[in-house]
Amino acid sequence: MHNLEISTFFGDFDELDALSQLLDTFNKEQEAAVKSKRMHWMTSWSDLVNVASLGSGPDISQIGNTWISSLTGLNAIRPFKPQESKSMGGDLLFAGSETPSPCWSIPWTSYAFVICYRKDHLIEKGITPETAFANQEATLETIQKLGDAWLTPFVPTPYPDMLHVAASWVWGSGGELVSDKNGRPQIVFDQPAAMQGFCGWLESYRAVPASQRLNARDCMGLFQQGKAGAVVSGIRLAQAMFAAADEKTRQNIGFAPISQTPWVGGDSLVIWKHAQREAESEKLSLALVNFLTSKENVIQFCQSAYSLPARQDALEALYPSSHPLCETVQAISKNGRRYPVINEWRSIEHQLVQELDNIVHEAYKNPARASAEILEKHLHPLAQRLNRTM
């Protein structure tokens, strides 16, 4: 019986249990002994860098999709051969794009934020549910009409949730965070279109009373109790809420993307080069990635973990036209954008997340100060500093 280890940064029991069930099945089929190692999200990047540097550790790792450019630079990742990625699903794995060459990682699941709303609350406020979140302008108008019935969670640094939501506003307004200038990244999140998007994002936070600055689960709790008309939520929490609701409540709940160009993140699986030291380890690693990312198994995993599958055929199977989340999920899959896969992104993201946190705190501390003024004060100097280091 051959041993193998896969590292993940799953944070809740639904995800861990779903993975454990799949690994049990794989171990029986392959007569193997695959174990999972949980890395904490807060330290997973440094843990993975250590694996790359030392050339030892797990054979397979779950990574964030924007991490791959930095990891390949460490010359520690085994690329997937064209026939290998093709046998696993090929272009079906890479939503909206062709299989990259070289292929360093295999997409597994996706993640996004959605707006959950109660149709009766909107109607009571004179809002038409079908058009309440049709575009940025409509969303801001809906937020203002809802007043304290609108909630968006406060997620402190270093968690990047606030940036994920802000990116949706920026892209939905036609702005960019980073552009390419002569083959080098250039910071442009302080340009007019991007600032307009950030203004909408900040106004969506300022609409929430200071007394209701709640985390994601508290916001969803109020929504489930019927004490909030609309709430921004991660897709997993939104699906768990919907699954737990009774049929009458389900009929009253609607979903919408945060913008017409929403942020979408996700994770992939990589095989480390040190897994090639033993032919059996390499063979079993390939078999496990193939097993976990297959249509059948990714559907099983996502149903249990309330996640979105990365592969398109699994997404369509999980969200047929009759599913209440179908339209929203398809919009995210079709129009969603990811952060740039560049080596500098982790540093940009880290500093931008910190600054957005400072912006929200200043906005609550100085309620009379215009959002545009607060954003200009914080984002323009940050953009200048980052551009000097590019």
Tokens of 143: 């937020």
Specify the pLDDT at position 240.
94
Residue 24 to residues 33, 127, 292: CA-CA distances in angstroms? 9, 49, 12
Place of tokens 């606030």: 162
173: nearest Cα among 193, 192, 187? 193
pTM for the full model? 0.94
Residue 358 to residues 193, 207, 320: CA-CA distances in angstroms? 21, 17, 41
DSSP 3-state of 151: strand
Specify the pLDDT at position 66.
87
**Contact between residue 5 and residue 37 where contact means Cβ atoms under 8 Å apart:** yes
Provide CATH 3.40.190.10 ranges for the chain.
2-110+265-335, 113-263+338-389
Say which residues have a Cβ less than 8 Å from residue 385's Cβ, sequence separation at least 6: 351
Whole-angstrom distance, CA of residue 380 vs CA of residue 291: 47
Fold classification of 113-263+338-389 is D-Maltodextrin-Binding Protein; domain 2 (3.40.190)
Say which residues have a Cβ less than 8 Å from residue 132's Cβ, sequence separation at least 6: 117, 122, 138, 139, 142, 230, 256
Give me the architecture of the 2-110+265-335 domain, per CATH.
3-Layer(aba) Sandwich (3.40)
Specify the pLDDT at position 12.
81
DSSP 78-111: EPBPHHHHHHHTGGGGSTTSPPPSSB--EEEEEE
Q: What is the pLDDT along the chain (390 residues), one digit of tens a residue?
A: 788 999 999 878 889 999 999 999 999 999 999 999 999 888 898 999 999 999 999 999 999 988 988 888 889 999 999 999 999 999 888 876 788 889 999 999 999 999 999 999 999 999 999 999 999 999 999 999 999 999 999 988 888 999 999 999 999 999 999 998 888 899 999 999 999 999 999 999 999 887 778 999 999 999 999 999 999 999 999 999 999 999 999 999 999 999 999 999 999 999 999 999 999 999 999 999 999 999 999 999 999 999 999 999 999 999 999 999 999 999 999 999 999 988 899 899 999 999 999 999 999 999 999 999 999 999 999 999 999 987
Mode of pairing for the β-strands spanning 253-257 and 77-78: unpaired
User: Environment class of residue 222 by beta-carbon count within 10 Å: exposed (0-12), middle (13-18) or buried (19+)?
Assistant: middle
Whole-angstrom distance, CA of residue 249 vs CA of residue 242: 9
